[in-house]
Amino acid sequence: MLVLLAHFWPNVGGPVGLAGLYVDPALGFALGWNAWYNWAIILPTELSAAAILFNGFFPNASAESIHNINLITMSIMLVLAIGINCFGSRAYGEAEFAFSCFKILTIVSLIITGIILDLGGGTGGFIGFKNWRDPGPFVEWRAKGSLGKFLGVWSSMSQAVFAFFGTEIPGVAAGEVQNPAKNIPRAVNRVWIRMQVVCFATLFYVLAVFVAGLLVRSDDPRLTGPTTGSPGHTLVLSSPFVIAMEYSHLKHLEHICNAAFVISAFSAATSDVYISSRFLYYLSRCGHAPRFCAAIYHSKRKKTVIPWVGILVSACIALLAFMSVSQTSAEEIFHWLSSLNSTTALLSWIGMLFTYLRMTLTRWFPDYSWYQGTIAKEKDFKDFKQTHQELYKNRYRMQPWIAIYAFVMCVLILIFNGWFVFTRPGPWRMARELDDIPVESDPDIGNWVPTFVSSYLAIPFFLLAILGYKLIFRTKMVTLREMRFDRGYIHDDGEEIPTTRWSRLLAVLF
C-alpha cells in the first residue's frame, strides 16, 4: 500500500498529502496535524524512556541523584538528536542506517541467546515448551476463563501499536530520495525484514515475544519488576530476557541490554525530529500552517536543505520531557504519552488505509477516473497504459483485501483502546467537594482519569479538525471523476545492476 502511494506521488507530503488529493482536503488537513502531533509528542516520550533506562545503570542512586541523571541524559540526547538533523537528510540517513544495523544485531543476538537457553544451553537445563503448558502462555486479566485471557491479549494491542508505528517513514522521505520510483519500493519492500507479509506484526517483534514466552513463566513475579531501586533498573530487570539470563547465572548482562535499549531510544528520538520537521514543512506548503514554518536553509557547499523552523519547533516541544525528571513521575508520564501516541498512530493508519482504498476504486470505474484524469491529458493510449502499469506494478496480489482487514482492525483497536477504564467499579467522578479524598488508583491501570484521557483525547480533536475545516472552506469529498493521475509520474532513471555476489547481497538486504 505505502509503495503504491509514495512512489507515484513522492512530493506531496507523503501519505498525508495524498489524503487531500484522493479523499477530501479536510481529511488531509486533519491527518497532517495529527501526524505532526504524533511525531512531535513522541520525541519527549522517547527522551523520557531513554532517561528512565539510563538511570538503570545506577540502581542504588538517591532520588536527588536520579533527578540530576535524568536532567543530564535528556539534555545531551536532545542536543545530539537536533544536531544530527541540522546536517540534513544525508547525515540523518547515515546515522539511522548505523542505528538500524545495531538494533537488528541486538534483537538477533537476544533471539539467538534465548533459543540457546531454551534448548538447555544455560545452567537451568532444557526448557522447551514447559512454560506454555504450565501455567500457559496467556494470563487472565479483568475477568476469568477464556474471556479473561482474550482481554489480556487485547490489552496489549495498544503497546503493539506503539512498538510498530513508523513504517510509513519512507513515504514521508520520498520527496528527498533520488529516483523514488526505484528506491521507495525497495525501501518499503525490505520492511519484510521487520514485519510479516500481512503487516500484522514485525517479524523480529514476533520472534522476540515468542522466545520470551518460552523462557519465562507468564506468572513470574519479576515481570512486574522489583519494588526497590531506580525506575530504569526496575524496567531492565523486568525484561524476560534479563530474567532468563539471571536464572542461567549469566551475571551483569542487564547492563549490556540496558545500553542497547538506551541507544534504541536515542535513535527513535532522532527519527522523531526528522519526521516532525518534515510534516510541519508540508503543512506550511499546503497552507495549513503559518508560512514561516516552511522556511529552509540551503547549504551551498554540501547542497543540503534543512527545514530549520520545523527542527526548532520540535526542539521546543521536546522540552516537555523535562516534566519527568523526577524519579516518581518519569515512568507514569511515559505511559500517558505512549498511550496518546498509540491513539494518534491509529488515526493516521486509518486515514492512510481509507485513502488507499479510495484510490483502488479507480480500477473498477475507469470511465470516471482514468479516462477523465489521464487519457484526456496525455491523449495517447500508450502513455496511459504505461502510467497504469507504473501505478500498480508494486501492488501486492492480496490487495485491497489486506487493506480492508487492516482498516477494520485499526478501527476496532481505536474504539476499544481504553476499554479497561470502563471496568472500574463505582461512580464516574473524581470528587463531589473540594476536600473529598481522591479516588484510589487501580493497581492494573493506575489513575483512571489520565488513562481515559490519554486513550481517547485525540479522537474528538481529529474529528473537530475535519469538521472545522469543512465548515470554513466548504470542501467536498473528491469524486472518482475528479481524481487526477496525470501528475506525479516518476520516470525510470535507470539503476546500476549489481554484478558481484557481495553487491547482490547488499541489494537484497538494503
Concatenate the DSSP letters of all residues of 215-276 into one string. Answer: HS-TT-GGGG--SSS-HHHHHHHT-HHHHHHHHTT-TTHHHHHHHHHHHHHHHHHHHHHHHH
Joined grid coordinates for residue 419? 476499554
Side-chain-side CA neighbours of residue 401 (13 Å): 3
Q: What's the CA gap between 306 and 304, in Å, rounded?
A: 6
Name the residue among 62, 19, 13 with its Cα closest to residue 327. Answer: 62
Q: What is the model's pLDDT at position 79?
A: 92
Q: What is the sign, positive or negative, of the torsion defined by CA atoms of 281, 177, 1, 377?
A: positive
Q: What angle do CA 17, 21, 22 make, to 5 degrees?
A: 115
Region of 474 (left: φ > 0; alpha: ψ -120 to 50; beta: rest) is left
Number of neighbouring beta carbons within 10 Å of residue 450: 16
Residue 427 and residue 37: Cα distance in Å, rounded?
33
Omega before 135 within 30 of 0, i.e. cis:
yes
One-letter identity of residue 206: V
Nearest to 450 by CA among 345, 343, 335, 342: 335
Distance in angstroms (rounded) separating the CA atoms of residues 307 and 309: 6
pTM score: 0.78
With cell 507514569, the residue in question is 332
Class of domain 2-426+444-509: mainly alpha
Cell readout for 197 is 507479509
- Cell numbers at residue 391, please? 501505478
Q: Which residue has the cell 478501527?
A: 411
Neighbours of 472 (CB within 10 A): 10
Residues 6+ apart with CB under 8 A from 250: 122
Q: Grid coordinates standing for 340? A: 496518546
Ordered mean pLDDT values, 10 residues apiece, the chain (510 residues):
58 69 88 88 83 77 77 89 87 85 85 87 79 78 79 80 70 53 49 40 74 82 59 62 78 77 87 88 84 81 79 87 62 73 89 84 52 46 53 65 89 86 66 61 68 86 93 84 57 49 51
Q: Please list, residue by residue across 69-89, b when 16 or more beta carbons sit within 10 angstroms of its beta carbon and e when fewer do.
A: bbeebbeebbeebbebbbebb
Beta-bridged to residue 305, according to DSSP, are 298
Regarding beta strands 304-306 and 297-299, do their DSSP bridges make them parallel or antiparallel, or are they unpaired? antiparallel
- The three cell numbers of residue 405 are 482487514
pLDDT at 235: 57
Nearest C-alpha neighbor of 149 from the set 160, 159, 137, 161: 137
Q: Is the peptide bond before 425 cis (omega within 30 degrees of 0)?
A: no
